[in-house]
Chains A and B, each alone.
Chain A
C-alpha cells in the first residue's frame, strides 16, 4: 500500500431492531391508523426499505389530541413540577443508555454520518432532556411571572434533518413546562421518534403525555389546525411556516416557528486561517448541508480570496463521502430523492446563471441519494443560489471589501437565522455581531448548539426561541 487508505469501518447495524411495521403512538400505546395508508421509510444511502409506517389521518390526529388533552387535565397538568422533572431525567438517562442504538437508527433513516449522529445529535438529545428536566420544578424562576402556566396541548411538527434532536428541542421544554404533546416527525425520518415512543414506555411516562403521529404534510396540517391544540411549534421550511402562520390566524393558538436561512459566513483577512477553513467546511458540509443555519453564503474579503479558495478546495479534497454507517464518513447521503432533485435543480440554475461550479473528485455510491460537496464561485447577490435556501452541500462564494459591505451583503436577505464571523480582532467581532440581523452569531466558530443557548431567527427565519430559558418561555402562557 503506497497510500494510507482507510479500510471500511462500519458501525454495526445489529444493535438496532427495526420492526417491519409501526403503528401510531397514541395514549401510551402503539395503535393502527384508522384512516390513513401506510407508507415506507427508506434508507437514503441504499434505497432499502427500512419499515412501513402508519399515516395518521384527521381521525387519528383527533384521537391523539384528545389523549393529550386528557393527560394534560388529569395527570400531567396537576402533577408537581418535581415529579415531572423525574420523568424527564429518566428519559434523559434512557437516551444515554440507548445512545448507540439511536445513533445507528438515525444514520440509517436519515443518511447522516454515524460520526455526527453519535458525537453530536444523540448527546445533544440527552443534554436537552437533562437541561429541561431541571426546569420543571423551577418554572416560577423562568421570568414569566410568579405562577407560570402551560398552554395545554402542544402540536409539534419537526423536520427530517435532525430528527431526534428536533424532537428533543420540542418535547423537552414542552413537558418541563407542563404541556402534553402530539408530535409529528417528518415522513422520511420517523424511526427515532418511534424509538422515543418506546423510551416513553420504558420511562413509565403516563399515557397521553407524549403522542407520536407519523405522516406527511396532510397529517401535520391536521395537527396544526386541530381546535384542541393550544400551542403550535414548527421547524421546517419558510413556505410551510407561512402557511401555518396563516392557518392559526384568528385562533387562540400560540406559535413558534423555526424556519429557513441563508447564513453569511464572513471571512476577514486577519482570520485564523486554518480554523476558518474548518469553520467554512463545518458550516456548509455538516449534515450534508441539511441545516437551516448552514453557512451557505461564504463572504470573503477580497484581499484573501485566492488564498481562502485554494485552502478550501484543498480541504474539500479530504472530505470522505459515502456510507453513513462508516465511522470515517464526513458526508453522508442526501435525505430523499425529492431533496436531491431540489439540490440538483438549484445547482443547475447556479451554473446557468454563470457561476463557476467545482467539486473535488469523489466517487459516489451507485445506489441511494448522493451529492458531492460543491462550491460555486463568481456568485453575486443577484444569483438565486445566493438567495434561496438550497439545503444541501452547496456553498456560494461572494466577496466584500470593507466590514460595512460585508454587513450589507449579509443582511440583504429575507432570512435572519444565523451568521458567522472570522477575524482575530475582538472589537470587530463585537461590531459585526451588533450589526448582523440574525438570531445566532458564531464568531470564530460555526454550527455549535447547546441546550442552554437560545436558537431562532429574525425576519422570515421565524419567531420564538428554542433552547435556554427563552425556549422554556415559549411553552408558558404569558
Chain B
C-alpha cells in the first residue's frame, strides 16, 4: 500500500491548507509520490504550533529533553529500512550507502541527545565580579527557530539542522528539501510516534523560496537557519527580512554533514542569561 505524504504541524498530519501538492521523483526522475506543497498559511500555523509548544518544551528538564531526543533515535532505528529506501531513492545512493547515511543520522540524534544536560556546563559560567554578588550565566533557548533545511542531504542534513535547535529547548519549523522531502515526512512520523510533544518540531514540505520569506519576516520567529537557500541574493533578501525583529540568522555556508558538527549550531540558538544576587547575611 502506498502512503500519503502530508505536512507535520502541531503533532498532526494535515494536508496543505492550500490544497496543493507536487510531484516528488527519485534521483532518476521516476515518480515517487505526491507531497503536500506548504503555503504561507501552513507556515503561519506551524509558527503558532511551535510557539505554543515552546514554554512546555523549554521548561522541561535537560535530562528529559535528552531522553526524548534519544528516543527519536530509537524509533528511527525501527524504521531503518523505510528511511534507507527513501534516502536511496531521493539522493540516488545505493541502498548500502543509504543505510550508512541513516546510521549516521541516528548517531547524530544520539550525539545531540547527550548535549542536553551538558550545554549549561560548557556554555554557562560563574562570573567572579568585583563585589559581594553571586553572578552566573546560563544558556537558554532562543525560542521559535525556522529552519530551511539543506536541499541535498535529505535526512542527515535535516537531522543536523533540527536536532541542535530542539535539544536546548527551542521549537522548530522546518522546511524540507524541495526535491527530496520524503525522509523529512517520515521523520515527522517518527516524531509523532516517539515522545516529542506536538509542535516542538513542525515539518513543511515544499519550496523554501516560497515559504522562507514568510518565516523570515514572521515577527514571532526568533531565529532562522538559511541553510537550504542556494541563491545568495535570495539569502540576502531573507536576512534583510529577518532583521525586522532582529532574528538570529545563520547564513548559508558550505557544510559537510558527515563531519564532526561542533557546537556552532547548538550555540546559534542560545541566549545567555546572566543573574546577579547580593551575598549577605
Q: Please tell me whether chains A and B touch each other in their complex, using a CB distance cut-off of 8 A.
A: yes
Interface residues, chain A, with chain B CB atoms under 8 Å away: 127, 143, 238, 241-242, 245-246, 249-250, 257, 259, 414, 416, 429, 433, 436, 438-445, 448, 450, 452-456, 458-463, 465, 468-470, 478
From B137, B236, B275, B278, give the contact of A250 (CB < 8 A).
B236
10 nearest A-B pairs in the assembled complex, by CB-CB distance:
A250-B236, A249-B239, A245-B243, A450-B129, A453-B127, A452-B127, A249-B240, A246-B243, A443-B277, A441-B275
Q: Is the CB of B274 within 8 A of A143?
A: no
> How far, in whole Å, are A444 and B239 apart by their CA atoms in the complex?
39
- Pick out which of these stretches binds chain A: B27-35, B145-153, B186-194, B244-252: B244-252
9 sample A-B contacts, Cβ–Cβ < 8 Å, listed by A number: A241-B246, A245-B249, A246-B240, A249-B237, A250-B236, A439-B273, A452-B127, A453-B137, A453-B276
Contact of A450 among B131, B142, B243 (CB under 8 A): B131
What's the interface size class on B, roughly?
35 or more
In the complex, how many angstroms separate the beta carbon of B59 from the nearest chain A beta carbon?
A: 8
Which residues of B are found within 8 Å of A469, using beta-carbon distances?
A: 125
Is A450's CB under 8 angstroms from B273's CB? no
Q: Does B122 contact A (CB under 8 A)?
A: yes
Q: Is the CB of A442 within 8 A of B246?
A: no
Query: Besides A450-B131, A463-B248, 8 other CB < 8 A contacts?
Result: A245-B243, A246-B243, A250-B236, A416-B271, A443-B275, A448-B276, A462-B246, A465-B272
B107-145 vs A, CB cutoff 8 Å, 1 = contact: the mask equals 000000000000000110101111101010100001000
Given the contacts A438-B273, A443-B276, A469-B125, A242 and B243 also touching, CB distance less than 8 Å: yes
- Contact status A242-B129, CB under 8 Å: no
Alpha-carbon distance between A444 and B245 when the two chains are bound, in angstroms: 31
Q: Is B176 an interface position by the 8 A CB rule?
A: no
Assembled-state Cα–Cα distance A267/B123 (Å): 31
List B contacts of A465 (CB < 8 A): 272
CB <8 Å contact, A242 and B130: no
Cross-chain contact A453 with B135 (CB below 8 angstroms): yes
A261-B140 Cα distance, complex, nearest whole Å: 19
> What's the Cα separation between A9 and B172 when bound, in Å?
59
Minimum CB–CB distance from B264 to chain A (whole Å) comes to 6
With a 10 A CB-CB cut-off, give which of A438, A444, A463, A465 has the most chain B CB atoms: A463
Judge whether B69 is part of the interface by a CB distance below 8 angstroms. Answer: no
> Does more than half of chain B's interface fall in helix, strand or loop, or is it mixed?
mixed
Partner of A439, one of B123, B236, B248, B274: B274
Cβ–Cβ contact A249 & B129, under 8 A: no
Chain B's closest residue to A461 (CB) is B246
B50 CB within 8 Å of chain A: no
> B127 near A250 (CB under 8 angstroms)?
no
Residues of chain B lying within 8 A (CB to CB) of residue A445: 133, 276-278
Measured CA separation A436–B140 after assembly (Å): 11
Contact in complex: A433, B129 (CB < 8 Å): no
B239 shortest CB reach to chain A, Å: 4
B98 at interface (Cβ–Cβ under 8 A)? no
Whole-angstrom distance between the Cβ of B205 and the nearest chain A Cβ? 27
Asked if residues B246 and A259 are in contact (CB atoms below 8 Å), the reply is yes
Q: Is the CB of B128 within 8 A of A452?
A: yes
When chains A and B are docked, how far (Å) is the Cα of A444 from the Cα of B279? 10
Residues of A within 8 A of B274 (CB): 439-441, 453-455
A478 proximity list for chain B (CB < 8 A): 264
Is there contact, CB below 8 Å, between A440 and B240? Answer: no
Q: Given contacts A250-B232, A414-B245, A454-B125, is CB(A470)–CB(B276) below 8 Å?
A: no
Q: Once bound together, how far apart are the Cα atoms of A158 and B131, in whole Å? A: 27
For residue B248, give the distance in angstroms from its CB to the closest CB of chain A: 6
Name the A residues within 8 Å of B233 (CB-CB). Answer: 250
In the complex, which residues of chain B have a beta carbon less than 8 angstroms from the beta carbon of A127? Answer: 130
Q: Does A448 lie within 8 Å of B243, measured CB to CB?
A: no
CB nearest neighbor in B for A455: B274
Q: How far is the CA of A11 from the CA of B131 in the complex (A)?
A: 27
Cβ–Cβ < 8 Å partners of B277 in chain A: 429, 443-445
CA distance A478 to B123 in the complex (A): 14
Q: Inside 8 A of A470's CB, which chain B residues have their CB?
A: 125, 137, 272
- Distance to closest chain A CB from B231 (angstroms): 11
Does A250 lie within 8 Å of B235, measured CB to CB? yes
Q: Does B222 contact A (CB under 8 A)?
A: yes
